[in-house]
């Protein structure tokens, strides 16, 4: 069992930037997860959130948020709303958050959590975030809180020229936090940087469905 105080201390020891730590201090997991799982709050234990989905590891979330651009006017697309906890953290860092959840009922529940906290700068959609058809304006960053088995290059068209996609990439048992950016868009050249190891559930859609099938018995 951990505590929020211990979690914040862990973030400081890992040199997570202040804006992310401040966000984690302001947002409580109690507002997003069933209290029956309270012993698992702020730990690496997955917390069930419904429809076979679970929470994401909080230290990995913080490390991904740490990689966001540090300016104030950052506009972010989040793929994988989940409980809404990561969305709430993002809302404290970015000027605007657009978030997409594969399971419509999870998205509705997340919206209710966010409304109770009077968080105004978030728009929630339901659907497959890996196959977007909406005409969104370009984002400064896209965060994917689910494991991809390859680079989500199709999402690059939703980025500004200096934008980035932050996502876990790798097999089901372990991934690396990956940052994908545009090197030369006209030539289709993209830069990829790898960071800390992490473990997320496989993404639904074109960057995870083949991976899911390959591990079926």
So where are the chain's domains? 4-214
Determine the pLDDT at residue 139. 96
Determine the pLDDT at residue 117. 96
Determine the pLDDT at residue 186. 62
| CATH of 4-214 among 1.20.120.1200, 3.40.50.2300, 3.40.50.150, 3.40.50.740 | 3.40.50.150
Print pLDDT tens along the chain (217 aa): 579 999 999 999 999 999 999 999 999 999 999 999 999 999 999 999 998 899 999 999 999 999 999 888 999 999 999 999 999 999 999 999 999 999 999 999 999 999 999 999 999 999 988 888 777 889 999 999 999 999 999 899 999 989 999 999 998 889 999 999 987 666 567 899 999 999 999 998 778 755 444 434 3
Q: Which two tokens stand for residue 159?
A: 């980025």
> C-alpha angle with apex 23: 25 to 4, nearest 5 degrees?
25
SS3 123: strand
| Euclidean distance between CA atoms 129 and 206, whole angstroms | 10
Q: Which two tokens stand for residue 196?
A: 């800390």
What DSSP element (H or E) covers 196?
Answer: strand 189-198
Distances (CA, A) of 66 to 22, 70, 158, 212: 12, 9, 21, 29
Answer whether 75's CB lies under 8 Å from 95's CB: yes
| Euclidean distance between CA atoms 138 and 146, whole angstroms | 21
Determine the pLDDT at residue 105. 95
Answer whether 42's CB lies under 8 Å from 10's CB: no
pTM, two decimals, is 0.91
Answer whether 124's CB lies under 8 Å from 99's CB: yes
Determine the pLDDT at residue 166. 98
What DSSP element (H or E) covers 14?
Answer: none
Neighbours of 56 (CB within 10 A): 25
């Amino acid at each position: 069992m951990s505590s929020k105080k211990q979690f914040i201390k862990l973030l400081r020891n890992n040199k997570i930037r202040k804006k992310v730590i401040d966000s984690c201090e302001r947002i409580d997991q109690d507002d997003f997860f069933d209290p029956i799982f309270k012993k698992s709050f702020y730990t690496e234990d997955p917390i069930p959130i419904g429809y076979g989905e679970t929470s994401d590891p909080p230290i990995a979330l913080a490390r991904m948020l740490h990689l966001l651009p540090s300016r104030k006017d950052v506009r972010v697309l989040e793929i994988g709303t989940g409980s809404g906890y990561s969305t709430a953290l993002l809302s404290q860092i970015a000027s605007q958050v657009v978030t997409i959840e594969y399971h419509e009922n999870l998205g509705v529940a997340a919206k209710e959590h966010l409304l109770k906290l009077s968080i105004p700068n978030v728009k929630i959609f339901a659907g497959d975030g890996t196959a977007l058809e909406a005409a969104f304006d370009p984002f400064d960053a896209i965060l994917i809180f689910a494991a991809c088995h390859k680079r989500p290059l199709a999402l690059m068209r939703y980025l500004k020229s200096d934008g980035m996609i932050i996502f876990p990439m790798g097999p089901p048992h372990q991934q690396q936090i990956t940052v994908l950016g545009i090197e030369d868009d006209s030539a289709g050249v993209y830069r990829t940087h790898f960071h800390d190891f992490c473990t997320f559930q496989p993404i639904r859609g074109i960057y995870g469905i083949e991976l899911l099938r390959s591990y079926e018995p």
